[in-house]
Structure formats: C-alpha cells, structure tokens
Amino acid sequence: MNSKPKTTTLLRSPAKLNLFLHVINKRSSGYHSIESLFVPIMWFDEIYIEKTDDGVITREGDLAGDLAGDLLVKSAKLLKKYAYQYLGNHNEIISSSGCRIFVKKNIPSGAGLGGGSSNAALTLKTLNVMWNLNFTSLQLSEIGKEIGADVPFFLQDHSCFVSGIGEKLSQIMDESFLPHYFVILIPKIEVSTLEIFNSLNSDNYSTASNFLFLESNQTPSFFKEFNSGIWTYGRNDLESTTCNNFPIVGIALNLLKKLAKIYDLPENSCRMSGTGGAIFCSAPTLAIARKIKLQIEKNSKDEFISKVCRRLVCKKLTLGT
C-alpha cells in the first residue's frame, strides 16, 4: 500500500538557504569548520506520519527505494535506540512503538537546500511527541547531529548563525535585517556534498568572524556597517569549486547576476546555497522577485527549475488528528 495515512495532519518540512558560507579549516576528523547564516524558506516537502503499535517503521511515497540510506527511517530508528538507552524502564512501550511515514518531495535533492536534513528533523520532533518520549530540544539536537550536520538547525525555530561543522547555532531573534524574498534557480543535476568538500582547495578558506559572540541586539548593526547589509556580506567559499565541477551551476549563476543587474540589484546578492547547485538572488520586493523569475523562464529554455520563495518565520510543531 502506498497511500497517505489518514490519521495525521499534513506536516511541512522547509528548505533553507545559506546567505553566506565561509569554510574556516579542515579538521583532523575530515570534517570542515564553517561559518554561515541559515534561513528557512517557504518551500516544503509534505510528510505524513502515522503512529503504529507493531514496532515497525515503514517508509512510503517519493524516494522510498533505498531505505538503508533514507534519513527519515534512520531518524526514527536512532530515536528509538536512544529511547531504549535513556528510558529503559519503558522498554515494552518503546518496543511496540512504530510508525508509517509517507513523503511527497517538492524540494529538489542534491541542491544545497537541506531537504533531507529538514525531513529528518521533522521526523525526530514528530515521533518524540507521538511516542511520548519527552526528549528535550537539546537531547534531540544531540541525536540529530548523528544524522547530519544541518539537522540541529531544522530542529529549532529561527534563522541562525551556524558554526563548527554545523552543530553550533546562535538564533537570530531580530530578523529585521534579513531579506524577505528570494529567486531560486536550480540546474537539473544533483551535487554531492562530499565531492565538493573533497575538491575544495585551502586557498578558498575564509578567516573566522566569530558571529556566535555577537549579542542578539548587535547583529543588525553589525551588518548595517556594510553598505548593502547582509545582502552582499561575505560569499560562498564552495561556489567556485562547484562551478568548476558542474559548469551548468556557473551558467545559472551568471544568468541570475545578469537579470539582477536589470533591476539594480548588486551582483553579490546572487550566490550559491550550500554545496549547490541551487543559486539564489535576495530580492527587496515580491514584485521584483517575480519579474526576475519571469525573465528566467524566457531565457533559460527549461534548463532550470525556478521558484520565488519568502523567508519563513517558523512556528512550533503542532500535531493534529
């Protein structure tokens, strides 16, 4: 059977953009230290999760073929493992707790938008409630780090400065300085995060800026010191590597810069998210964003996926029946 469960409300799993992404160094573990600014955007995968009492975890819907590597299944199993470890006096209840997960993918995979990590985080939050585990946000974050570096970000409710390997977060409480709209342009390819980091030359590294030490009321003024604020601050240190490995990403970036210039937007408002291949342009108004998207459709000859998205102001997870 491959139909949506009828006993839960629709859960929406958002994408994210990196407004900048600085790579600081490579650790002895092989992971890279980064500094970035993550913002959630209104582009969602749709997830339905139904609690079952047979102890079995099943996954249906889009991209459900390789369950061994599926992040939603991995999240559910890891949460159950931790439940056994920390809530051992409820082993029988934990053992019988299962779920049926149905996913409709709307966020392109391998585009640097964090769709898989977002799905994993939503699975953790939902099952924590459904299975009555009562893990704290900090405990869920520790579990999330084992699944992927971006998962802890999607477990909380704000745009964030991010550092470490992605696990250190500083919530941005005053988001007034952040862009509201984005035009996103995605080549029809999948980019491997591991391939891009492995190809990165140390000449592309940036110097650490230590944003985590800023007080929340200092953040807007820090970026206002730059003429265009966060719109043009920094860069994506992985951009040139991805463009070299996947020339179509460079073509998309140049197209978006050309169109942004028509509407008096600085070239630096156009950049790549994550390891790519998604390219985005920060836009001051919805009208300008829509005009740029229209020009993309006229110029790209169906080579790319294009979308206008608004920055998401996140709300706490609620479940319905």
- Please confirm, yes or no, whether 66 is among the known catalytic residues: no
Burial of 240 (0-12, 13-18, 19+ CB in 10 A): middle
Catalytic residue among 45, 74, 80, 150: 150
Catalytic residue among 16, 51, 80, 293: 16
CA separation for the pair 189, 203 (Å, rounded):
26
CA separation for the pair 132, 242 (Å, rounded):
43
- Please confirm, yes or no, whether 257 is among the known catalytic residues: no
CB 11 within 8 A of CB 126: yes
C-alpha angle with apex 115: 111 to 119, nearest 5 degrees?
A: 165
**Residues near 208 by beta carbon (within 8 Å), at least 6 away in sequence:** 22, 24, 33, 35
The CA-atom distances, in angstroms, between 261 and each of 12, 257, 266, 267 are 34, 6, 6, 7
Which of the residues are catalytic?
A: 16, 150
